[in-house]
Amino acid sequence: MKTYTIPEIGNEEVEVTEIEIKKEQKVKPEQTLITVEGQKISIDIPSTVKGKVKEILVKIGQKIKTGTPFIRIETDKLTEKKEKKSNRVEEKEKIETNSESEKRKEEEKANTDIERERDQDKSHASPTVRRLARERKVELSKIKGTGRKGRVLKEDIKVYLKGREDNSTLFLSRSKENVFFKNPSSSSELNLEKEHTYFFNRVELSAINQLKKNWSSIPHVTQFAEADITELDELKKNLSEDFLKEEDLYSITYLPFILKALCCALKKFPKFNSIYSDSTSSLIFKKSFNIGVVVDSKEGLFIPVLKKVNKKSIIDIAKEVFLLSAKTRKKNLLLSDVQGSSFTISNLGGVGGSFFTPIVNSPEVGILGISRAFLKPICIFDKILPRLILPLSLSYDHRVINGVYAVNFLNFIIKILSNVALLTVY
């Protein structure tokens, strides 16, 4: 008897969204057992053995975490012997066979097909369902899901196929009512003479619900300020010239410097590097300096997390920001990539604007908004000089942070950004 537990997925809970097997059902290796979902990540958990399901320990909608037992499978002695022998061979040899190489190529091709499919369709479905739809040449956008939160299930695809075989013309005409319109980037993509309905994808719905909850439950206060980054800009240019000679993929922006300065401020003002517990009305101070950075993608907004920023150089931070942004836009983020932040940055510097009110990412207590830098005439020693100014917007939870503490925190960040030599001191 083999008891399956949830693999390592981080510290946060995930929700069971699909159970693909039934009690007494025979299963084989690589067959999907359950699908779990958490923080915009959907994961299929497969079987590794051949056997019979004896007990299902979870139910749809249940919250579970790493190490939670979820199924028991009875395996025969031959299967157990093969599994043990296979494990011994893998430990001794660890050599990739030709068949494994071919299998991996097939999986990579399948993953590529899935990614291509997802670019064209934002329907809510598990990887297993998407694979089935691809094999049957079915567009998920034409199917109305009957699962939790509108998920498309295997049964929905079967009903669709049956309806297409029975009366394809009638079914297709009905399916037009359920077309999933992609979010248009400009009005030119829509026929403005007709009304269109846009259904939010699951990432957007998750963000909508979270933002609504955070805005209604947290007493927000936003402090606005400006940082003189003229000298920082010169350092950035010099560093970029030297760095780009060695690394063509990465570029140095203001963000790594801001992250480093923010980390110094979090050390000096530890309340901002904490999370608020509603259940116990207490503040939990974090030892690690893990900062989330909001990244925009076709699917919606994600917040990948840079871990242990205090232990990394400006160059290391620049590389990690680039890699996490690329993983986000290629939909390769892992659950661990979006967990564990204690503070968040929302960077609109590449878009424009001046000040704005970023919404605190609960259970964190603060978020720093960055806008586009601009030239401003400043009087210095009786002279009017052009200085490069960076607008900063700090939103915070007023239950935890008072105004004086917040202003001192923001002034400290400005102090470092205006004199980057201080980064070597703090």
Q: Which of 138-152, 173-187, 302-316, 373-387 has the lowest mean pLDDT?
A: 173-187
pLDDT-based confidence at residue 46 (cuts at 50, 70, 90) = confident
Instruction: Name the percent of the chain lying above pLDDT 90.
Output: 34
pLDDT tens-digit series, residues 2-36: 788 877 766 667 888 888 888 889 888 878 888 88
pLDDT surpassing 90 at residue 39: no
pLDDT surpassing 50 at residue 316: yes
Tell me the average pLDDT across 283-290. Answer: 94
Q: C-alpha angle with apex 43: 40 to 331, nearest 5 degrees?
A: 50
One CATH from 3.60.150.10, 3.40.50.2300, 2.30.30.90, 2.40.50.100 for 2-75: 2.40.50.100
Q: Which helix (H) or strand (E) holds 282?
A: strand 282-285
Given this model, what pLDDT does residue 221 score? Answer: 97
Is residue 223 left, alpha or beta, with left meaning phi > 0 and alpha meaning psi from -120 to 50? beta
Active site residue 398: yes
pLDDT tens-digit series, residues 52-74: 899 999 988 888 888 888 888 88
CATH 3.30.559.10 domain span(s) along the chain: 219-425
Given this model, what pLDDT does residue 342 score? Answer: 94
pLDDT tens-digit series, residues 180-209: 334 454 445 555 567 778 888 777 888 888
pLDDT surpassing 50 at residue 90: no
More confident residue, 399 or 76: 399
Q: What single DSSP character describes residue 201? A: P
Tell me the average pLDDT across 220-248. Answer: 82
CATH 2.40.50.100 domain span(s) along the chain: 2-75
Q: What single DSSP character describes residue 360? A: P
Q: Rounded to whole angstroms, how far apart are CA atoms 294 and 304?
A: 7
Amino acid 302 reads F
Q: C-alpha angle with apex 362: 356 to 366, nearest 5 degrees?
A: 50
Tokens of 413: 């960040």
Task: Indicate the SS3 state at residue 293.
Answer: strand
More confident residue, 424 or 20: 20
* Greatest Cα-to-Cα distance within the chain, rounded to the nearest angstrom: 89
Of the candidates 1, 147, 154, which has an alpha carbon nearest to the alpha carbon of residue 71?
1
Contact (Cβ atoms closer than 8 angstroms) between residue 399 and residue 275: no
CB atoms within 10 A of CB 221: 16
Instruction: Name the percent of the chain lying above pLDDT 70.
Output: 74
Of the candidates 151, 165, 149, which has an alpha carbon nearest to the alpha carbon of residue 140?
151
Tell me the average pLDDT across 376-392. Answer: 92
Q: Which of 138-152, 320-334, 399-413 has the lowest mean pLDDT?
A: 138-152
Q: Which of 247-251, 291-295, 362-366 has the lowest mean pLDDT?
A: 247-251
Task: Indicate the SS3 state at residue 158.
Answer: helix
In 51-131, DSSP assigns E strands to 51-56, 63-64, 69-74
Of the candidates 202, 204, 218, which has an alpha carbon nearest to the alpha carbon of residue 367?
218
Superfamily of domain 219-425: Chloramphenicol acetyltransferase-like domain (3.30.559.10)
Amino acid 139 reads E
Tokens of 230: 């003229």
Given this model, what pLDDT does residue 181 score? Answer: 37
Given this model, what pLDDT does residue 148 score? Answer: 66
pTM score, whole prediction: 0.59
pLDDT tens-digit series, residues 120-158: 455 667 767 777 777 777 777 777 777 766 777 777 777
